[in-house]
Structure 1
Amino acid sequence: MAFSSSLTRSAPSPVQDTFRFTDRSKVSCGLNSNANAVKFQSSIFGTNVSVDSSSLQKVMCRSIKPIRATATEIPPTVTKSHSSGKTKIGINGFGRIGRLVLRIATFRDDIDVVAVNDPFIDATYMAYMFKYDSTHGPYKGTIKVVDESTLEINGKQIKVSSKRDPAEIPWGDYGAEYVVESSGVFTTIDKASAHKKGGAKKVIISAPSADAPMFVVGVNESTYKPSMDVVSNASCTTNCLAPLAKVVHEEFGILEGLMTTVHATTATQKTVDGPSMKDWRGGRGAGQNIIPSSTGAAKAVGKVLPELNGKLTGMAFRVPTPNVSVVDLTCRLDKSASYEDVKAAIKYASEGPLKGILGYTDEDVVSNDFVGDSRSSIFDAKAGIGLRAVLE
């Protein structure tokens, strides 16, 4: 996913800069300043450094607070489970998210998917949809149908069911302790809790929720409590924006911000013009139009970063691409900061505390270069600009 963000710094200084940051492949951020010739003291990671200080001087002054984070796929930085057995998982809803969760899980040695439920797909069609993917290519493993209730992937059998009511799915019989709720239907605590009636202990909703605790890896997972049985993993856009916003806010302070996401096509859109009573523009042909839409991603950041609650808002544009999106964040900063300051902060976090979650690139990349990237957010250093630098 790609993000672009613009920041305006407002601080006690003779110079006021407006910066723009861009994030790619999940998050990218860039910043440009026109005040390089003007000297003033800037608080960078707790140390005063002048604007024209060298990059090395700035790097030596970094002291970002450690951020404990565990990526969700398989980068080398992933902290895997230390329990004696594998984590037993069930998947409800075999759409884009459900299938990709299963793909990723088959290459993890600490996770064991034991069952998949989808009321609209039988085992044979499940195998076909899992094996072939127009975006990520064919599955690099083996899959076969054992019978109408069993798939075998890489020699491991997975039970298949087709229950419409989540309370009727026998997760306990399958041995599933955790359920990934990826149907897009049961997104509240009450609805998702129905999985517990079938024997599940915990439920992870793969979408934003109106009332379930929301977590973004690398941002607020440390606030999780064992008593929370149903949680939300937020949205793809929130997972892209939140790590970037966290680093920028902790180092420079975000006073307010506007996010715009240029978002890839999703499954709910129409291939040609069709009825969409709740969102008329959303019913127009996805491959033919740039479609303005709403998004709750910016406000959701306030749920995972309470200190930013009420400070961010945003909108979306749906575009005719199958994968990878961009987020553009324009915001005012509380502390003085140059373009190099912000890049240094993001680069440091991407190589240390948030490695495997927040990325950094200064190459001439485009969206397709990030297909299959496991990181939540990638900062595009070349895509950011400074909007203005004005002497007061």
Structure 2
Amino acid sequence: MRLRLAINGYGRIGRCFLRALMFSPLRDRFSVVAINEPSDLESMAYLTRFDSTHGCFPGSVDVGDGRLRINNEEIQVFHAREPAGVNWADLGIDILIEASGRYSFRHELESFLGAGCERVLLSHPGNSATDVDRTIVYGLNHDLLTGTERIVSAASCTTNAIVPVLSILDQAYGLDHALLTTLHSVMNDQPLIDGYHHADLHRTRSAMQSMIPVSTGLARGVARLLPDLAGRIEAKAIRVPVVNVSAIDLVAHLERPTTVVDVNALLREAADGRNSGRMSYTAAPHASIDFNHSPHSAIIDAGQTRMSGDRLLNLLIWFDNEWGFANRMLDVAACWGERMA
């Protein structure tokens, strides 16, 4: 029997999640029965059909009777602005995909449970480790899911990109310290032109005219998933004026010596083996656009691997921050659903 899904927040990740599901091998496991999005139905249908980043939807999209009809499957649409504005219990939802990004504290997330949702899967980290029952990076710790959880986070696109790589390096060489710099594509919390847009003054500046430093919780996210590395990871982020595909520049001081050849061989083996489908490896000369619509959480750019001495390592890791992450959310939902049975 298919699990019944609903999506709360039909923005970039919500729409990518639905697209990824519609054409995934996991499709037969789920039915999307409801979407809650404050915007109007016609706009929702239009942005489902046409996407400037991922192209036109390769299927049918229609509206009728207050519903969104995708590939002839009807999805009930609501326009509530608060969790209790939808009677989720009457819909029989097994998992709610919380993709609005508005809720990260436990008392906020429990509002969905109180309104009748059985379980909530977040498209972002909880405010703290205790705000969710588990934070899952698929391929790293999804085996911890038991099916009894009520609130689960799929972490973030950057966490999914870097944590498996850090884990591989730590197991092979030992990580003394590491510095992560995320070069992230623009996001909706930035204006097109300078304006009173955000409490963080960096985010008042035009997204498409500058590279802009912003705050990031990536170091905390790493420590949450790899507690042995707590206090040894620092991170910063710079938004760059491209609409999609991001990268992480990793500088790591290793406990044991190695070479560029050995590091690349280690990561290629991981990409071809236990991380296949989630990590990729390339030695070709690339630009970021080459990874648009990649379903991988991390693409190792082997041509950019550097060593200073035999312990100071520098890696470049690409990722489609929309499509890759939406596919990992789908993986987490499928794994969680299996454990519920």
Partner secondary structure for residue 129 of structure 1: helix
Deviation readout 1:148-187 (Å, 9 max, x if unpaired):
2x11110111110011121231223223210011111112
Structure 1 runs, 4 residues or longer, greater than 4 Å off: none
- Could you tell me how far apart the structure 2 residues matched to 1:355 and 1:332 are? 26
Matched, 1:239 2:160: yes
Partner of 1:99: 15
- Could you tell me how far apart the structure 2 residues matched to 1:98 and 1:191 are? 19
Partner secondary structure for residue 193 of structure 1: helix
Partner of 1:131: 49
2:121 to 187, 204, 216: 204
Relative to 1, partners in 2 of residues 1:114 and 1:277: Cα closer, same or farther, differing over 3 Å? closer
Matched, 1:145 2:63: yes
- Could you tell me how far apart the structure 2 residues matched to 1:294 and 1:141 are? 38
Cα offset, 1:388, TM superposition: 3.0
Cα offset, 1:277, TM superposition: 4.8
Partner secondary structure for residue 109 of structure 1: helix
User: Which moves more between the two structures, 194-203 or 352-361?
Assistant: 194-203
Unpaired runs of 5+ residues, structure 1, are 1-84
- Could you tell me how far apart the structure 1 residues matched to 2:113 and 2:294 are? 33
8 Å Cα contact 1:178/1:201 also seen in 2? yes
Cα offset, 1:188, TM superposition: 2.0
Deviation readout 1:232-290 (Å, 9 max, x if unpaired):
11111111111111111111111111100111001110100011452112110011011
Q: How does 1:306-317 map to 2 (within 5 A)?
A: 306-317=227-238
8 Å Cα contact 1:142/1:155 also seen in 2? yes
Cα offset, 1:389, TM superposition: 5.0
- Could you tell me how far apart the structure 2 residues matched to 1:261 and 1:269 are? 16
Letter of the structure 2 residue corresponding to residue 185 of structure 1: R
Q: Find the structure with the greater CA-based Rg.
A: 1
Q: How does 1:19-98 map to 2 (within 5 A)?
A: 85-98=1-14
- Larger helix share, 1 or 2: 2
1:305 to 209, 221, 226: 226
- Could you tell me how far apart the structure 1 residues matched to 2:147 and 2:19 are? 27
- Could you tell me how far apart the structure 1 residues matched to 2:29 and 2:284 are? 34
Deviation readout 1:349-372 (Å, 9 max, x if unpaired):
111111011111111111100000
1:112 to 23, 31, 36: 31
8 Å Cα contact 1:220/1:305 also seen in 2? no
User: Which moves more between the two structures, 186-195 or 316-325?
Assistant: 186-195
Letter of the structure 1 residue corresponding to residue 53 of structure 2: T
8 Å Cα contact 1:123/1:147 also seen in 2? no
Q: Kindly report the root-mean-square deviation, in angstroms, between the aligned alpha carbons of the 2 structures.
A: 1.4
Partner of 1:348: 269
Deviation readout 1:208-255 (Å, 9 max, x if unpaired):
211323211111222234332111111111111111111111111111
Matched, 1:387 2:308: yes
8 Å Cα contact 1:192/1:205 also seen in 2? no
Partner secondary structure for residue 332 of structure 1: strand
- How many residue pairs were aligned? 304
Tell me which of the two structures has the higher relative contact order, counting C-alpha pairs closer than 8 angstroms and 6 or more residues apart.
1
- Could you tell me how far apart the structure 1 residues matched to 2:197 and 2:82 are? 26
- Could you tell me how far apart the structure 2 residues matched to 1:316 and 1:324 are? 14
Matched, 1:292 2:213: yes
Partner secondary structure for residue 57 of structure 2: coil
Letter of the structure 2 residue corresponding to residue 336 of structure 1: P
